[in-house]
Amino acid sequence: MSTLHVTTTDGLRLAVTDFGSPGDTRPTLVCVHGYPDNSSVWLPLVRILGGDLRIVTYDVRGHGSSQAPATREGYLVEQLNADLQAVIDTVSPAAPVHLLAHDWGSTQTWEAVAGNVPSERIASFTSISGPSLDQTGAWLRTPGRTVRGVLARLRQGAGSTYIGFFQAPLLPELAWRSGLLDRIVGGSALDRTRSDRINGLELYRANAIARMTRPRPRPVTVPVQVIAPIGDAYVSRALAAEAPKPYVADLTVHEIEGSHWVVADHPERVAPLVRDFVRARS
């Protein structure tokens, strides 16, 4: 295992951990964590998959040991994708990598595989509980052809109300500092810090409303696996499975038991699916 720092296009330093060894020729899996986590959320999965794959994790800007931008614009998806490409080019300059992402890490990575990072640098993408903002916006605008479809969209709208709350000034910060949001959000806290919780709000403020109200989903040629926990309170199975279908040429969907935080709470349910998908596309 080695720790290194990658410099971003706007001069920040990202903390990166390579769990492989010098000369490692196994497939490289780059993991992108979500909100309000940092890269420690992947440690339970690393313990299971570390013998099969070369795993690389990093703290998204503003989280963990990575530096934070000075302005909200520093959290735009385009910059997050430039960070991801910088990590990929550093840890695997000569070969494509496989991507695994959860929650907001997955949301930002959808844009990377839709063209923000050259497709030849990415061998596959596994998404867990983090839909594309553009695909979500388009899906919510597509009238359900059945009562079930309409209800699915209404349910997802109710499950996404926190996005609106996160847009408010000061209130989300106060809710985190008081401990209220910790009790509501739940999940395995691991090594979450106050800066993870507070800085990460800018991810939503910089991107969510603009992209969901004016969606422009693009085709995805990278093979994609969507893992949908059936107990996810924030991303419905309908959204996870249906939103990507019109845009992804090679799409695999698996439903598993678990909550939104399944990657930390039950990594043994996630690991075999990731391992098999990576092996089949290496």
| Domains defined along the chain, listed by start | 2-280 (3.40.50.1820)
Stretch 268-279: mean pLDDT, rounded?
A: 98
Name the DSSP letter for residue 114.
Answer: I
Decide if pLDDT at 160 tops 70. Answer: no
Q: Does the pLDDT value for residue 156 go beyond 80? A: no
What is residue 188's predicted lDDT score, i.e. its pLDDT? 57
Q: How do strand 2-7 and strand 224-229 relate by DSSP bridges?
A: unpaired
CA distance 91 to 97: 9
Backbone angles phi, psi at 73, to 5 degrees: -60, -25
CB atoms within 10 A of CB 169: 7
pLDDT of residue 177: 87
**For the segment 181-214, what is each residue's pLDDT rounded down to a tens digit?**
887 776 655 678 889 999 999 999 999 989 988 9
Strand ranges in 75-221 using DSSP code E only, listed in sequence order: 97-102, 122-128
CA 42 to chain CA mean position, Å: 12
226, amino acid identity: V
In angstroms, the CA 182 to CA 177 distance is: 9
Contacts for 16-23: CB closer than 8 Å, 24+ residues apart: 16/56, 16/57, 16/58, 16/87, 16/90, 16/91, 17/56, 17/57, 17/58, 18/54, 18/56, 18/91, 19/46, 19/50, 19/54, 19/55, 19/56, 19/57, 20/54, 20/55, 20/56
Q: CB under 8 Å to 222, separation ≥6 — which residues?
A: 113, 119, 122, 123, 124, 125, 250
pLDDT at residue 4 greater than cutoff 80: yes
Question: What is the rounded CA–CA span in Å between residue 116 and residue 83?
Answer: 11
- pLDDT tens for each residue of 27-64: 999 999 999 999 999 999 999 999 999 999 999 999 99
Tell me which amino acid residue 117 is: V
Q: Which two tokens stand for residue 93?
A: 């300059």
Q: Let me know: does 123 contact 97? Beta carbons within 8 Å.
A: yes
Burial of 118: CB neighbours in 10 Å, binned 0-12, 13-18, 19+: exposed
Mean pLDDT of the chain: 91
- C-alpha dist (Å) from residue 35 to 3, 43, 66, 87, 123: 22, 16, 14, 19, 25
pLDDT at 147: 46
Greater pLDDT, 127 or 156: 127
Decide if pLDDT at 21 tops 70.
yes
Strands of the sheet containing 224-229, edge to edge, are 2-7, 13-18, 54-58, 28-32, 97-102, 122-128, 224-229, 251-256
* 14 has a pLDDT exceeding 60: yes
d(CA 169, CA 229): 31
For residues 169 and 201, the answer to whether their CB atoms sit within 8 Å is: no
Q: Which residues contact 227 (CB under 8 A, 6 or more apart)?
A: 126, 127, 128, 129, 254, 256, 262, 270, 273
- Kindly state the average pLDDT of the residues 230-254: 94
* Three-state secondary-structure class, residue 87: helix
